[in-house]
């Protein structure tokens, strides 16, 4: 084999190895992506049915129902335009309350119920997830001080 042929084979092998590495990284990156959807988007079937995503909005007032096992909680998340029922089994954050912002991660079942594997509540009184705040604005919620008790859409540094 000529030296030139060996060099070309090494270059081809290197490019192939680089391509495989990039493919594996992109595949891992895509499987770890978690997209955010609002109740209105889920009701419009824009959310994926076969993978996890985040649902954000407000916990509807009067919708929290705890089961007898005390770990399973049913509640509804709303963006004031549409409402999605959510089931979560586990310990809820201390700041989880009716009428407050929430982001739940999980997947939607064929029955239209969102089964959350993780529930996140706002971490202080001046914070609301920007995606949830934007969704509420798009849904036409006035975002007044009385309804959210001082929630702002800005991130703290």
By three-state DSSP, how is residue 108 classified? strand
- For 41, residues 6+ apart whose C-beta sits below 8 A from its C-beta are 47
- Give 78's strand partners: 58, 83
Q: Does position 116 have pLDDT exceeding 70, yes or no? A: yes
- Domain hosting 105: range is 36-121
| Domain annotation covers residue 54 | yes
* Confidence grade of residue 55 (pLDDT, cut at 50, 70, 90): very high
130-144 per-position pLDDT tens digit: 777 777 777 776 655
Is residue 118 within 8 A of residue 142, CB to CB? The reply is no
Give dist(CA 52, CA 142) in Å, integer.
Answer: 30
What letter does residue 112 receive in the DSSP assignment? S
Indicate the annotated binding residues for heme.
123, 127
Give dist(CA 92, CA 15) in Å, integer.
Answer: 49
Q: Does position 147 have pLDDT exceeding 50, yes or no? A: no
Question: What pTM was computed for the model?
Answer: 0.65
List phi, psi (to 5°) of 120.
Answer: -115, 135
| Domain annotation covers residue 1 | no
- Only one residue has tokens 């119920």, namely 113
| Cβ atoms < 10 Å from Cβ of 97 | 15
Read off the CATH number of the domain in which 69 is found. Answer: 2.40.50.140
| Domain annotation covers residue 52 | yes
Indicate the annotated binding residues.
123, 127
| Domain annotation covers residue 77 | yes
Count structural domains, the chain.
1
| Domain annotation covers residue 91 | yes
Quick one: pLDDT at residue 122?
Answer: 67
| Domain annotation covers residue 62 | yes
| Domain annotation covers residue 60 | yes
Give dist(CA 29, CA 110) in Å, integer.
Answer: 27
| Domain annotation covers residue 7 | no
Quick one: pLDDT at residue 142?
Answer: 64
């Amino acid at each position: 084999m000529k030296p030139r042929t060996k060099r070309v084979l090494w270059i081809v092998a290197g490019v192939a190895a680089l391509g495989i590495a990039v493919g594996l990284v992109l595949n891992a990156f895509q499987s770890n992506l978690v997209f955010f959807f609002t109740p209105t988007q889920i009701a419009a079937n824009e959310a994926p049915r076969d993978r996890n995503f985040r649902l954000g909005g407000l916990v509807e007032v009067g919708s929290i129902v705890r089961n007898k096992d005390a770990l399973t909680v049913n509640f509804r998340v709303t963006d004031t335009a549409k409402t999605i029922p959510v089931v979560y089994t586990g310990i809820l954050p201390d700041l989880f309350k009716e009428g407050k912002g929430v982001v739940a991660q999980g997947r939607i079942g064929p029955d239209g119920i969102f089964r959350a594997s993780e529930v996140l509540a706002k971490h202080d009184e001046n914070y609301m997830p920007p995606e949830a705040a934007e969704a509420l604005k798009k849904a036409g919620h006035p975002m007044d001080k009385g309804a959210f008790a001082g929630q702002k859409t800005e991130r703290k540094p």
